[in-house]
Amino acid sequence: MPEQPSDKNQQLESFRVRQEGTDLTTQQGVKVDNTDDSVTVGERGPTLLEDFHAREKLTHFDHERIPERVVHARGAGAYGYFEPYDGWLADYTAADFLTSPGVRTPVFVRFSTVAGSRGSADTVRDVRGFATKFYTREGNYDLVGNNMPVFFIHDGIKFPDFVHAVKPEPHNEIPQAQSAHDTLWDFVGLQPETMHMMMWLMSDRAIPRSYRMMQGFGVHTFRLVNAEGKATFVKFHWKPVLGTHSLVWDETQKIAGKDPDFNRRDLWDSIEAGQFPEWELGVQLVEESDEFSFDFDLLDATKIIPEEEVPVRPVGRMVLDRNPDNFFAETEQIAFHTANVVPGIDFTNDPLLQARNFSYLDTQLIRLGGPNFSQLPVNRPLAEPHHNQRDGYGQQAIHKGRTSYFKNSLGGGCPALADSGAFTHYAEKVEGHKIRRRSESFKDYYSQATLFWNSMSEVEAEHIVSAFRFELGKVETMEVRARVVEHLKHVDHGLATRVAAGIGVPPPAAEATPNHGRSSPALSQLNAPMHRIDSRKVAVLVADGVDGDGVRRLVDALGKQGALPEVLAPTDGRVRAATGEDIEADRALNTMASVLYDAVVVPCGPDSVATLSQDGYAVHFVTEAYKHVKPVAGFGSGLKLLRRAGVADELADDTGVLVDNGVVSSKAAEQSLPEEFFARLGEELAKHRAWQRRTESVPA
């Protein structure tokens, strides 16, 4: 007889745990009165290993998913190299790979989203991981960062709480890879330290155009230590040579359906095409004597050092030039750890960093099946390891000899202690009582969130308002919406009022905290240099009867500028040009979409344009690109399709070139098309978007 639902329910009843009306305890039933702060030596000192509650909480969290990563599950990676420009940093660090000009250190970089599972889409609104493993001559160094320079919380003991909140809700496993739901915003509304990071998450930084076009940050304040033992505080920055660019929200949702692998495909295809991604590594340096010279705490991972106060000084460049051979063996099995450091780089007492130094190793032990994961090919250091650690799951070495201990005489005393080049921990003096309390210097929750808001351009600010409205509009609990708005009024009263107007909650009654008026121009993406069009994808729409000479000139001119033009036709195969020759189409139009390209061009050819004008998908292709404020171009009879698609900007009425709000046009055709047309199209493409004709405005 089939088991009755009531019987099964009774069977499961003893396994159900009811949380309502209970006190928080450890797994051993010991009551807990603080789960926000680790036990440290003094308010700003190192975290103590004897904190059994933090250890239990982090350990359980680290073992909650098998086998994919708990966070950063969806990723893409590539190999390359890092090369310092010169040796100036030797005054600050003994790290050889940062101070040896001409020496190329191999790297593997893994980019990722944070919240979603391995099967989620690339273009969700999320933080992006930017983790770099340097295979240095002195051992492996891992710079495990993000594309945002701050984080949601102060102390790693709260990381399980944050991730539990942002992950799909446990009762129905919905939504996937999204922060737009009740539990995340409930957490945010009760943790004001999150507000700076939430401003970044609601900004365009959370929807990058490409991994190759996003910045990276080490997040924490680290130490550099030179050969004499002198230490200097440091923050690490990666800056892409292609500029920092983002998608728009409508695009991200459509790309998730058209190509959920958009960012990982972009990285792979660019490397395969020889368009190698490149970043510049820079550092912000702060003398130890200046530790308390700022109006924030250097150990607070929810804060930045504004570049206007401490400039980012260039150190070297990183180039990614080789795709992995096997995704699982390399991209999936690579294991990063913030505590993988080399001589010349050391830690600070940042409580989030200290927790990561514990947690990452613990995570790899369960995810990769035991203590020998460093022997996996992608994780092996170039500096040959010699130690007395033996056996265990996944042991790949066959150790010869009788000794696996130190000191020994039977093995000739080997491996022996190093007499030079060894890692030496920075000798920082610490003292204080064992307490579970965070320093008051961490409790400025809003001023840098306001700094970020003040630094945005008008269009970036509109996008932030739209993002808050979208995210909070998905929250079902009105009290949670209202609570977040109450926090936003401490960031900027106008921001809170605009958000409240879109989510059905009362506007804040009074300005709680006056806006301090300070800004940091470096925080705006639109202030970054925009002069490169390398690897920008341009859709060229054609059909039978197209101007063949014009298409060839266009493709050649864009290619010489570094762009990647693709010829799209109503069907796969070839189209017949007006002069009778064949033109090979790269793809069928209906298999692609405008959201997958950076610009669209319609060449001349009366018959071609007539065919495309009768194709609703082709018309929509142009209309959508225009809506997303991308460069749109046409020449000769191609202007008719632009008009048919509703491109309302002024179009050229002669054979010259007109550029108006990102629309490049000329009535000229074939060989009469001036070279200026291609140059002006390249200029508009380098601007990324024609924001002056944006249509996604948010009411003030």
Among 464, 460, 461, 454, CA closest to 517: 454
Whether residue 361 contacts residue 62, with contact meaning beta carbons closer than 8 Å, is answered with: no
Q: What gap in Å lies between CA 548 and CA 61, rounded to an integer? A: 61
Q: What gap in Å lies between CA 457 and CA 460, rounded to an integer? A: 5
Q: Which residues pair with 540 in a beta bridge?
A: 567, 601
Structure tokens at 541: 């729409």
Cα 314 from chain centre: 21
DSSP 74-131: SEEEEEEEEEES-SGGGGT---HHHH-TT--EEEEEEEEESSS-TTS-TTSSS-EEEE
Which of 72, 181, 220, 487 is catalytic? The answer is: 72
Structure tokens at 556: 């050649």
Q: What gap in Å lies between CA 449 and CA 324, rounded to an integer? A: 39
DSSP 498-541: HHHHHHTSPPPSS-SS-------GGG-GGGS-----TT-EEEEE
Residue type for 40, please? T
* CA distance readout (Å), 661 to 323, 463, 538, 640: 38, 20, 18, 18
Whether residue 242 contacts residue 535, with contact meaning beta carbons closer than 8 Å, is answered with: yes
Whether residue 631 contacts residue 664, with contact meaning beta carbons closer than 8 Å, is answered with: yes
Which of 146, 349, 357, 379 is catalytic? The answer is: 146
Element (H, E) at 10: helix 5-13
Q: Which residues pair with 566 in a beta bridge?
A: 539
Residue type for 558, please? L
- Examine residue 521 and say whether the peptide bond preceding it is cis (omega within 30 degrees of 0): no
181 is catalytic: no
Largest CA distance in the chain: 91
Half-sphere exposure of 338 (CA within 13 A, CB side): 26
515 is catalytic: no
* CA distance readout (Å), 623 to 480, 637, 647, 667: 38, 17, 7, 20
* CA distance readout (Å), 503 to 42, 311, 489, 490: 43, 39, 15, 18
CA angle 545, 549, 555 (to 5 degrees): 105
SS3 content of the chain, % helix, strand, coil (to 5): 35, 15, 50
Sequence-distant (≥ 6) Cβ neighbours of residue 273 within 8 angstroms: 535, 564
Among 88, 580, 132, CA closest to 313: 88
Residue 310, phi then psi, degrees to nearest 5:
-130, 105
What 8-state DSSP symbol labels residue 236?
Answer: E
Q: Which are the catalytic amino acids?
A: 72, 146
